[in-house]
Each structure stands twice: as structure tokens, then as C-alpha cells.
A and B are shown apart, each in its own frame.
Chain A
Amino acid sequence: MTAISRDEVAHLAHLARLDVTEAELDRFAQQLDVILQSVQRIGEVAADDIPPTSHAVPLTNVYRADEPVPGLSREAALAGAPDVAEDRFRVPRILGEEE
């Protein structure tokens, strides 16, 4: 019994916009399966009184005050843009691609 199927890996790759070849799919599916099965074994050890851990450090309520901090200049902000027009990031239209 595998923990993740090849189809699921293909689906995730698509969601993450990763271009994965057929050969890579075979390889990644196997590798991810090993990782997931290892994690599952840890799950078997965890008792009901151990909550799932999302944060490695036991901190809560780390907040900042509502005080402005200078950000980037527009030139700096747009420096990493693939393309710029009218002081904005220019990107291809995205109709129909949202998932």
C-alpha cells in the first residue's frame, strides 16, 4: 500500500506549477512515498494526548505594534518584476488558470 499515488504527485505538481517529466513523476512518487511512510510511522507512536505539531518552537502571541516602517522605493520594488508598465507589475492575463 503506497502512501501517495503517481496521479496524486502529478496533481500536486500541477497545483504547484511544476513542470515534471514522466520519468520524474515515477521517481518523485517513489521518493515521496518513502517520506510519507516514515512520517506515518511517527504518527503510529503519537498517542491521543499528543496534539499535532505545527510549530517547532512553543511561542504564541508574537505581535508587532501598529507603527509604520519605511518599505521599498517603487524602483526597488519593481526591480524584480518580470515586466513593468504604468508603475505596475505587468503579467500575462490569468483568466481560467485559477484553481
Chain B
Amino acid sequence: MTTVTSPSYADAVAKYEAVIGLETHVELGTRTKMFCGCTTEFGADPNTQVCPVCLGLPGALPVANEAAIEATIRIGLALNCRIAEWCRFARKNYFYPDMPKNFQTSQYDEPLCEDGWLDVDVDGETVRIEIERVHLEEDTGKSMHVGGATGRIQGATESLVDYNRAGIPLVEIVTKPVNGTGALAPEVARAYVTELREVIRSLGVSDVRMEQGSLRCDVNTSLNLPGQEWGTRTETKNVNSLRSVERAVRSEIIRQSGLLDAGERIVQETRHFHEDTGQTTPGRSKETATDYRYFPEPDLTPMSPDPEWVSRLREALPELPRDRRRRLQEAWGLSSLDMAAVLNAGAVDLIEATVAAGAKPEGARKWWMGELSRRANEAEMELGALGISPAQVAELQGLVDAGTLNDKLARQVIDGVLAGEGDPKAVADARGLAIVSDTGALTAAVDAAIAANPDVADKVRSGVHAAAGVLIGAVMKETRGQADAKTVRELILSRLS
């Protein structure tokens, strides 16, 4: 047996070409399940959102949820797919307790949407990810494995099943194989899932939360030498965050290249990604082809979406995230780097709303990306949950623009807003925060500062204007920061000229 060592990632991608493919499952946010009227709220007590249909009891008759079909078509349209004129549901037969019916209602060779694409930006380049299909199916129940030490299925002696999730509409989005991305393959995978999530969120059809499982991703990876046929692929599951998508591809590339370097063959199998180690381990073996005995679902009628309906849905699609980002970046006059920072901070919607409330883009961005981001980080909160609204930030910036507040006072006003003291104007009034614009009071403070610092005053008189800083500082201290530094400076220079 040859020894398998792990090469570095750089060596792996220098030698081999990676082909990736992504299967993403999205739980739709419909009020009810796919084929019955059971509710779908996350976190309900076990087996309290079930009925004869989703429990697969004899004689139950499923009827498809029109809202789920509409949502799937809208996803397909947003991904530039062709919408089927006619298609059917199919039974995928398997015996596993997460589906009490002993089959999952899915779609087989007639998906609702086919042949689309999604452009994603990676490292300043646009990569077009081809979409193979978008189809509609139902989610499975949730199993708790007990009797083992780990809560995992390995070692468990029995499973406890909650069917609340069974039958929730699930959309599966499958890419065509993505090749030719070189060392960027892991980043491309992550960028795709990120962009897909944004698209689906913009459609308002799912909350797409990976940590709650309403967006789940399986990553296929294979390696081949340049010019040779594509290699055997593995399918990595349990990839539960965007960061994990990238890490899973990277770790599979390293693992597979180590095996290939040692002359071993890649086994086609399902592998599990482990968040803690960043590695994958083998899951169920797929040595034998699965035999799901798909056949058209006899209890549900075929779907033939009215072309006029599809046209209306197409026309009513919202502006897609990538188009919106480009529009806002241009409108706000930001570099790609600045825009990326805004995106990372989750501040796009907040800045847009602040601008809509009347603030200039630069002012809106300054508050959200500066002071407010800092406070959100300190409090370990989402920016939007901080407790200050875009309208309040716009009002605050308005007070600064009007010369009523300087930045220092504005930060104190933020303290008040976050403490629930009201809107910025009300906080400023109640706390007595305003720039001292009474020239008489300022002049008195300036004169006092000059009298207290005769040496500095002489320097300024002799033309060393930089020395005025000491006097400005003294005036600002005297007025507790409520003076406008520029006005103070002008006053000092005119008194000493």
C-alpha cells in the first residue's frame, strides 16, 4: 500500500484541474406545506404540524400548493431558466424513516425549470454558473439519533423522528459541472451559493438561513489532469455555512490530489464535512447505484403553467441583487473595495434606506460603516438590530449638515437614540447638545483662551498659525465640545491678526 500524503493546496491546483457542481436545497417560506394545509413555522413542538397527508396515512390525497409552484417558477425565471410547458411530480421510492410515506414526492426527468445561468463575481471577474435544473419536491422529517455517544447516526441504536418538517416545499437547484476555474474553485463555489442566496432572498420566497437549514448545500468535487477526462466525483454533505462551502471544496481538492498522487483511485461516495476540523469523512457508500424506481405521481395532476402567468411573473421580478449592487455602487460613487466592505457589513439596505430618507450617500455610509458598525461589533449585534433606524441616521446627518451638531456631539446623540431617548432632534434638545453659535459667548471663550496662553497667542500673532491648535483646544474644552472648530479657528485668527 502506498503512502498517501496531503499536498499543499497550491501544489494540488497547480497539477490538477477541479470540476465542481453544487446542489442547493431551499425550503420555501410558504404558510403551509407542499401537499397539505399543515403550517410550517420553524421551532414548533415535535409532531404538532402533521396530518394524514404528510404522515402518509392510507387514503390521504395530496394537492399541490400553488404558492410553492409560483415561487419555484420565479426562482427559475430569476436564474434565466426555461419554464416547462408541462411537467409532472414523481415518486422517489426509498425506505428511510424520515419520509413516512416510504417515498418522497419530487420531480425526476421533467423539472419545472431548466437550463439557466447565474453570473457571480469572483476576484473582480464574472463567472457564469450554468444551471441544470430547478425542481420542486418536499422536505423530510428530522431524526434524532439516540443510544450512541455522539448524537450522530454512527453508533446510534434508534432514531426519534419529528415530522413537522416533512412535506415543507423544497426547491432543488442543480448547477451544471463548473470547470476551468483553477485555484479559484473554492471561492467560486462560495460566491455562487452567496449570490444564489441573495437572489432567493430578493424574491422573498425563503428566509434562506443556512444555520436553520432553510438553505442547504451539497458540493460535488472531482479532479483531473489537464487534457484528461473528468475524474470520479465525491459529494460532500453537511456544509452548513458559506465559509464551509469554500472550505469543503478546498479540503476535497487537497484530499483527492493526495490520493491521486499516490496512485490510488477516488471512490464515488458521499462525504461529510466537519465544521471543527475542516475535513471530510466518508458517509454512506454509493458503490452500488441507488434504485429509487421513480414513476409519475398518480395522485397529483401534471403541471402546465399558463404562459401568460409565467410572463406576468417574469415582468414582476424584482431588480436582481447583482444589478442592484451595481446601480447603488455607481449612485453612491464607491470603489469596488468600498462596496465590498458595505456588503460584508450587511449595510446595503440600511444605507439605501438612509439615503431614501434624505441623507447624502457619503453621510449615510459614514455613519453606518464607521461609528455604528463599531458599536454593532462591540455589542456583537447585526447592524440592523442596533436600535437606530435609517430615518434616524438621516435626521442625525441632517443636523450635522445644518451645522447644529459636529461629529462629536452627533456621537452623543447616538448614545441617546440607542438608549431609547427618542429621535436625534429630540435627544439633542433634551440633552442640550448643539454647537455654540452665539458669537458673543464664543468670543468670550476665545478671549479667555488668549489671555490664559499669552505665549501661544504671540506665536500666532507672529504668523505661526499651527500654534492656534492649542487655543482651539482650550475653547472646545471650555464649550464642552459644543463649538464648531472651524468657526473657533477663524475667530482666533481674526482676533490675533
Contacts and interface: CB of A to CB of B under 8 A. Distances in A.
Interface of A: 15, 17, 54-55, 59-72, 74, 77-78, 80, 85-99
B88 interface: yes
A97 B96 CA distance: 8
B158 interface: yes
A64 B156 CA distance: 40
A62 B301 CA distance: 6
Contact of A60 (B31, B37, B144, B302): B302
Given A66-B32, A89-B47, 19 more contacts: A60-B86, A62-B300, A63-B66, A64-B63, A66-B67, A77-B47, A77-B50, A80-B57, A85-B146, A88-B160, A89-B97, A90-B159, A91-B158, A91-B159, A91-B161, A93-B157, A95-B153, A95-B156, A97-B95
A33 B68 CA distance: 41
Contacts of A94: 96-97, 159
21 contacts: A15-B291, A15-B293, A55-B296, A60-B86, A60-B301, A60-B303, A60-B304, A62-B301, A63-B63, A66-B32, A69-B37, A69-B38, A69-B51, A71-B51, A87-B162, A91-B159, A92-B159, A93-B153, A95-B153, A95-B154, A99-B94
A69 B153 CA distance: 34
Interface residues of B, number: 62
Contacts of A78: 47
Given A68-B39, A71-B38, A99-B94, A88 B47 contact: yes
A85 B160 contact: yes
Given A63-B69, A64-B64, A80-B57, A87 B158 contact: no
A85 B296 CA distance: 36
Nearest to A92: B158
Nearest to B302: A60
B333 interface: no
A99 B291 contact: yes
Nearest to A98: B96
A66 B160 contact: no
B202 interface: no
Given A63-B65, A72-B50, A87-B45, A98 B37 contact: no
A72 B53 CA distance: 10
A62 B51 CA distance: 20
Nearest to A80: B57
A61 B301 contact: yes
Given A60-B301, A60-B302, A63-B66, A54 B296 contact: yes
Nearest to B284: A98
B160 A90 contact: yes
B46 A86 contact: yes
Nearest to A73: B48
B233 to A, nearest CB: 20
